[in-house]
Structure 1
Amino acid sequence: MDPNPEPDPGLAPDLVALRSLGGFFVLHTLADPRPTVGEDPAQLPTLAEAYATYADDTPLTWRVTTVAERLRTREARVAASIAHQGLAARLWSIALGCAVLYGRTPDLDPPLLRWDPCGSAPYDLWLTRVSPLPGDAATVADTVLRRHLAPLEAALRTRYGVAAGLLRGNSGSALAAAARELDRRAREDGRTDLADRARALTGTLFAHPLLRGTGTRTGTAFRRHSCCLYYRVPGGGVCGDCCFTSPPRSSPRAASG
């Protein structure tokens, strides 16, 4: 993290301040060179296409298939949950990181974000253009919750039958993790002002109706009230913020809510 960033009335064209925070925070623009062999980012599908529920073959189904293969699970519902949490973490990290470091957030409207459903952070998301929006909690919530996670949740519930409570828990867990990493980096750099800003913004976001009740927060720690189903992955277990302390031994649909 830059030791002396100050909130800026605008955003850096390349969002360079995010890069020191790690892969989940990085957002490339189409002007950035692609450092790995793969598709031209300008030809990638948009997240708006991923959220489409009327098509059988979408970037979201590609992502879930990719996650299932990487985790070696045959349960599409489990892969869908893990895929959801990964994308939620990316979106929260970008929006929250920009709001804290710049005092602004970029317009992350789904048609503006191109997505490599077979990629991984930080080369899975590319922003078509950088247009600044306010960095307040209302704007961040509208950007991430209403424009992204709500249609993503609808698509996953329709296509894979993932429970709403599980997906809301994923969203809360992803936000808490992004906030915790921001707080840690800021305090390591002696920027308690940035840490305080991150905590205040996160607290307001967790008061949102779509996040309220997803878990219990103590400082930067978070204990969710649902399970992401990672324990059902071969060799998996319970996550650090899971509602369970050990993998449950119950029906295949246990912990789905």
Structure 2
Amino acid sequence: MDHDPGLNALSALGGFFVLHTGRPPRGPLPTLARAYAARDADVKREVYENPVIFRVRKVARSVRAPEPRVAASLAHLGLAARLWSVALGAAAVYGTLPDLDPRLLHWDADASAPDELWLTEVRALPAERIGEVVRDGHLVPLAAALGAQLPISERLLWGNAASALMGAVRQIDHWAAANGRREVADRARALAAGLFAHPTLAGTLDAVTSRRRSCCLYYRLPGGGLCGDCCFDRPPGPRPLGGPRRT
């Protein structure tokens, strides 16, 4: 990382791994720390007042989500995928981790997918701190922000986090195999194994198939089907009136 302060090597792994460095060119963007702390703002008027809810509503319009929790799940999944990809990709490629302190990481909640992230200062951390950096520093407060403002299952959110992490592992593995960098894949899988052993992610995926044990709700979109790691074998039918929800 010392020899690549712009983190340019990450772009070869795919769009979810790209991390912009320096100041955002389109003026100041809210930090993720600010986004996680915001509550009950008038997000119809200003993206910076509550970036998380602004993003959920933007996703809802884009995919025609039938209910808020569907849009919340997809918005969460997109940001979780970006955070895991950047962190795990850097740790696997460089052997060190960029400090993704939410106070240093700026987020354009009004941009298209993948979520645009800008890191204003690149500081290397030991790769072994990836759980502290992503899980504790981002996914815990992100889940709290969503749960405080929308009807969304915490179990669903940690299922999203697990799915996003496994997606990053698979993409790194694919890139490493294509480029003769098996050591990169080995580092990613070793770090991921430790992350999946943590109580927040333990049991979220089937140990053999890596399929989820919760659903991201994508099937509820108009024309939506099942994700590749979905817990369902076929889209569920209409829920009986008053029946339990599967999350």
**TM-score (norm: length of structure 2):** 0.91
Quick one: structure 1 residues 164 and 122, their matched pair in 2 at CA, closer, same or farther if it must change by over 3 Å? closer
What's 2:112 paired with?
120
Aligned-pair identity (%): 53
Contact 1:23 / 1:121 at 8 angstroms: preserved in 2?
Answer: no
Quick one: structure 1 residues 29 and 52, their matched pair in 2 at CA, closer, same or farther if it must change by over 3 Å? same
Quick one: structure 1 residues 90 and 24, their matched pair in 2 at CA, closer, same or farther if it must change by over 3 Å? same
Contact 1:11 / 1:132 at 8 angstroms: preserved in 2?
Answer: no
What's 1:19 paired with?
11
**Aligned pairs for 1:40-51 within 5 A:** 40=27, 43-51=28-36
Q: Is 1:240 aligned to 2:228, yes or no?
A: yes
**Helix, strand or coil: the match of 1:110?**
coil
Which of these residues, 15, 20, 24, is aligned with residue 28 of structure 1?
20
Q: Is 1:231 aligned to 2:223, yes or no?
A: no
- The aligned length equals 237
RMSD (CA atoms): 1.7
Contact 2:38 / 2:145 at 8 angstroms: preserved in 1?
Answer: yes
What's 2:152 paired with?
162
The letter of the residue matching 1:61 is: I
| Distance of 1:121 and 1:128 partners within structure 2 | 20
What's 1:254 paired with?
245
| Distance of 1:11 and 1:207 partners within structure 2 | 32
Q: Tell me the CA shift for residue 121 of structure 1.
A: 4.5
The letter of the residue matching 2:70 is: V
Q: Is 1:141 aligned to 2:131, yes or no?
A: yes
What's 2:52 paired with?
60
Q: Is 1:193 aligned to 2:183, yes or no?
A: yes
Q: Tell me the CA shift for residue 123 of structure 1.
A: 6.3
| Distance of 1:162 and 1:71 partners within structure 2 | 18
Structure 1: 5+ residue stretches without partners:
1-7
What's 1:3 paired with?
none
Q: Tell me the CA shift for residue 96 of structure 1.
A: 0.2
**Helix, strand or coil: the match of 1:223?**
coil
Q: Tell me the CA shift for residue 192 of structure 1.
A: 1.6
Q: Tell me the CA shift for residue 116 of structure 1.
A: 0.5
Quick one: structure 1 residues 175 and 11, their matched pair in 2 at CA, closer, same or farther if it must change by over 3 Å? farther
Q: Tell me the CA shift for residue 24 of structure 1.
A: 0.2
1:41-77 deviation digits (Å, cap 9, x = unpaired): xx11111111125342400111001100110124111
Quick one: structure 1 residues 234 and 123, their matched pair in 2 at CA, closer, same or farther if it must change by over 3 Å? closer
**Helix, strand or coil: the match of 1:236?**
coil
**TM-score (norm: length of structure 1):** 0.87
